[in-house]
A and B are shown apart, each in its own frame.
Chain A
Amino acid sequence: MKLERFYGILIPILSIILGIAVGAIVMIAGGYDAGEGFYQLYYGIFGEPYSIGETLRATAPLIFAGLAVAFAFRTGLFNIGVEGQVLVGWMVAVWIGISFDLPTAIHLPLALIGAGLAGALWAAVPGVLKAVFHVHEVITSIMMNYIALYLTNDILRRYIGITNERTETVKESASLASTFLSELTDFSRLHNGIFVAVLAAAVFWFILWKTTLGYELRAVGFNKSAAEYAGMSVKRNIVLSFVISGVFAGLAGAMEGLGTFQNMTLNASFTGVGFDGIAVALLGANNPIGVVLAALLFAGLNIGGLSMQQVGIPPELIKIIIAFIIIFVASGYAIRLVIDRFTTKKDMAKTSKGAGK
């Protein structure tokens, strides 16, 4: 059990180091100064209060998206539809944010709850299809992404109102913006959402490891047959897992709608937040603390990558590094094999070959 935990931490860390090493090789191969590139990356994350603020700002939605994927995964489900759930959550948050005049104490929570419910509803569709008709959730949740993309655009145009490709700004009473945080970080877009996100990670932990529902959800995730034998409703748990996952995803949308942008733009393509969530959950080993740390790393790389442009290094390099980190984490099994090989006491001693015949 201890060994498992050791690997659980070692593999992500090794993967990050290896991913960055590959990044260095690519930079050198491309004729760029890798040392300068990494200095810029570092500076772009930690160099100024502004960049730290932006990194934290980008972290919040990634935490939510990562938690969404991880939660479903803990119940043995793949929620690939986080992206779509982010979009509907974002839209509903903005819609509530611009349509009502209420005191902050009511308006902001209402907008957040609305976003969560919208995400939950969107996620419930693949959940129900899986539970009742045994349709594979990966297919349906991917399809729901496309429906969300075009439906939100249509609703924005038709009902919410668009000028210059975007909606109105949300009312101050529904905004997550914080003058204090913004001024502290040299006028970055950092908002209060980061606190909500960290709180959500705690809620994630509490539901799975402290509640009776969590006991059921994890049991269903590990062994559906045994869960059924124990009298748990596997169908109900599948739907519930998707719904809770959808709440996290919807709130990721609220981070953008009520925090970063304060509005919603028409989307020609996906935001990518939902898909990054898969990577975050994977790197974070579906563990709430892991997800928070992984979200920080990915946000840092994305924000820091922008500075690399200043020395002529294309920001796509960051995508390469992230991609390789994911490849290394996913091939964690292979890494384990290598480690096991080196730690076996005596090994590789030559055998008398062909003694058989």
Chain B
Amino acid sequence: MEYVIEMLNIRKEFGNFVANDNITLQLRKGEIHALLGENGAGKSTLMNVLFGLYQPEAGEIRVRGEKVEITSPTVANDLGIGMVHQHFMLVQNFTVTENIILGAEPKSGLQIDRAAAREKVRQISEQYGLAVDPDAKIEDISVGMQQRVEILKTLYRGADILIFDEPSAVLTPQEIQELIQIMNRLISEGKSIILITHKLKEIKTVAHRCTTIRRGKYIGTVDIDETMTENRLAEMMVGREVNFDAEYSKANPQESVLDVKNLVVKDSRGVEAVRGLDLNVRAGEIVGIAGIDGNGQTELIEAITGLRKPYSGEVYLNNKPITNLKPRKVTESGIGHIPQDRHKHGLVLDYSIGHNMVLQTYYKKPFSKGGIMNYNAVAEKAKKLIEKFDVRTPSVDTFARALSGGNQQKAIIAREVDRSPDLLVAAQPTRGLDVGAIEFIHQQLIEEREKGRAVLLISFELEEILHVSDRIAVLYEGKIVAYRDPKETNELELGFLMAGGKKEGADQV
């Protein structure tokens, strides 16, 4: 069997910490090879070694059978290795072509040969069925398209080994389907792909083989065929059995906690994103909002939590109006908020995890007294929360930045749940997390419900919505167009409603 990449017994240390311990990964020509592992398992480190960003302490790398030293990304590029990053590296106000040629511009004399570049981009796009418009500006195209530009960029530079770093994390279900098609097209054209992911379903759909690592150690490489179940993959990844279909107890909804009435919210460009929305969430239930990204989710959450002023309409919490309150007043009136973007809103990444644990309560006793902080009390509180919610961090003084995504999210949830809010707004709480962390977070949401609190869950993952919610509200173009009972609906019907489809009217539950 011919291998295009062989990473043999790779070891990478950071100080005393062993990020990769004797890991082997062999990529066959023309296969999609999944690299599976929890957040912080060492997947990215291994790929950064392959891409020349880190030098391994031990082990060797062979490319097409030849032993190589990959000392920098340039060397990796020369070897035909390309990386499609999770966070795109694109210049927003450049065109697709300009972004692709950036750093490798074809020249005629002193000038950039734009016509030639454009033609080549068009040609590659056609060959691999990417359907990218070479003249579109990045800021005008969708996230899915931007990802294709990243793919095109690597192809333009002659890559035939592509590393995809969690490519579906930022995509809608529709875009994920298209990405899968693209990946299949790529291998049919002779490329080889390493797919970094922790989404088991994707591995089942697209990958040929899968290498699993857990806490920096090599667990094994398996063929993905009919006999391989998602449960077995999950077990390999987390090292214990994972219960996917945990049956949660039935909800017992009480009085209404959140009432949104005829709410209109404009987005940053002044366009109405939420258009006369009505919604209520009762104590002791989880209401899931299903909808395609960009149908007003962000604006709705921001309006409820006080981060954005609604244009008109009312929001009531426990029958008291909170419509125009400032974020602090909203928080104090009893709302907990797990924000959609944990790096932008949820955490101050350059603050220690201890500092972050009191982000909304720092001004209260015992953390602050007479304007002076009591950082001992802060640390004590943080220690308790870290223990209770199993946040894995070396200490309370560790920067939030240094924690893995799953642990950052656990920290946010610990902080929000600990304040015992009447309403918990959870926006994409499991985005980018692995199954172990997802399971934990779902349990926390259920626990909150069981304590008689109201939970509003916003997610783009229909599976999650169906799994956790007691009631599903479908959001389309800024309005709730239908309510469904998760027991009596399925992804198909929800997908149809989310796309604006009408069926038997918008019945209320």
Contact = CB atoms under 8 A, between A and B. Distances in A.
Contacts of A226: 344-348, 359
Given A222-B349, A351-B70, A229 B79 contact: no
Interface of B: 55, 57, 63-64, 66-71, 75, 78-80, 158, 305, 307, 326-332, 337, 339, 344-351, 355, 359-360, 362-363, 368, 371-373, 397-399
A309 to B, nearest CB: 46
A348 interface: yes
A345 B57 contact: yes
A344 B78 CA distance: 22
A228 B79 CA distance: 46
A79 to B, nearest CB: 20
Nearest to A227: B348
Contacts of B360: 230-231
Given A212-B371, A223-B349, A349-B71, A357 B158 contact: yes
Given A231-B331, A347-B55, A355-B79, A223 B350 contact: yes
25 contacts: A211-B371, A211-B372, A212-B362, A212-B363, A212-B373, A214-B373, A215-B362, A219-B351, A219-B355, A222-B348, A222-B350, A222-B351, A226-B359, A228-B327, A231-B326, A231-B328, A231-B330, A346-B55, A347-B55, A349-B69, A352-B66, A354-B78, A355-B63, A355-B66, A357-B158
Contacts of A336: none
A5 interface: no
Nearest to B13: A345
A1 interface: yes
Nearest to A346: B55
A215 B79 CA distance: 49
Most interface-central of A212, A213, A345 (chain B CB within 10 A)? A212
A350 B158 CA distance: 21
B347 to A, nearest CB: 6
Nearest to A353: B78
Nearest to B367: A212
Contacts of B69: 346, 349-351
Interface of A: 1, 210-216, 218-219, 222-223, 225-233, 344-357
A223 B344 contact: yes
A225 B71 contact: no
6 pairs of A and B residues whose beta carbons are closest in the complex: A231-B328, A356-B80, A212-B368, A229-B345, A230-B359, A222-B350
Contacts of B371: 211-213
A347 B69 CA distance: 9
A210 B330 CA distance: 27
A218 B75 CA distance: 41
B192 to A, nearest CB: 13
A229 B373 contact: no
A119 to B, nearest CB: 22
A228 B302 CA distance: 11
Contacts of B66: 352, 355
B346 A229 contact: yes
Contacts of B71: 347-349, 351
Given A222-B350, A345-B57, A349-B69, A229 B337 contact: yes
B339 A229 contact: yes
B344 A225 contact: yes
Contacts of B158: 356-357
A210 B345 contact: no
Nearest to A348: B71
B19 to A, nearest CB: 15
A343 to B, nearest CB: 11
A228 B305 CA distance: 11
